[in-house]
Structure 1
Amino acid sequence: MSGMIEMLYQAAQRAGLLKVAVWTPSSGASGGSAWVDFRAPDSEILNHFQLNTDYQIHCPLSAMPGVSAADQLQIDGIEYRVQAVRAIADGSELEIRLCKP
């Protein structure tokens, strides 16, 4: 099934729906780059008085194996820090929550 996820992301990349994320592990190990589904939806906080952006990416597990909290990502020239990583679906896809450092 994991091969299906990679095929879906390859199709999305060819359609121009994905962005490149450059991954730098906090451990000092080598990272790399991957095509990811970047999301930046706004959510209301403080009883609807302020907007907060909930940055996250989705990608195949194979794109960023070993990604963890405190790792750094760069998307469109903007730096982000990984807050949390969660496997979704059958475990072959990751949801990675980000914040600006």
Structure 2
Amino acid sequence: MNPEGLPQGKVGKLQRNTTDDCKHKWMACLDVKNTPFFMCIRCEKTIINLEDFENQIRKHERKKVADEMQKLKEDVKHFREALKLANNLIGYLKDKCGD
């Protein structure tokens, strides 16, 4: 379980593979230079590098927050436009009908 270029590390528990990255059922939790990741025990394919995975989650969360902020900005813009139109209509009606 030591592919080329991968330093020797500690092997943790076996876990069932729940990802679509590999067709095999079991993966081992490895700790190489204090960097945990999962590796398939049959094809030795790295399933998840936890640091990359956590970074992807953070990136996704930042993108999600940015998308929500953009939507809120658009909603505020539309609200302001509607408020201006309502004020214009009120002014027009006051001019036509009087106070």
Q: Please classify the TM superposition score into its range, dividing by the shorter chain length.
A: under 0.3
TM-score when normalising by structure 2: 0.28
Higher helix share: 2
TM-score when normalising by structure 1: 0.28
The structure with the larger Rg is 2
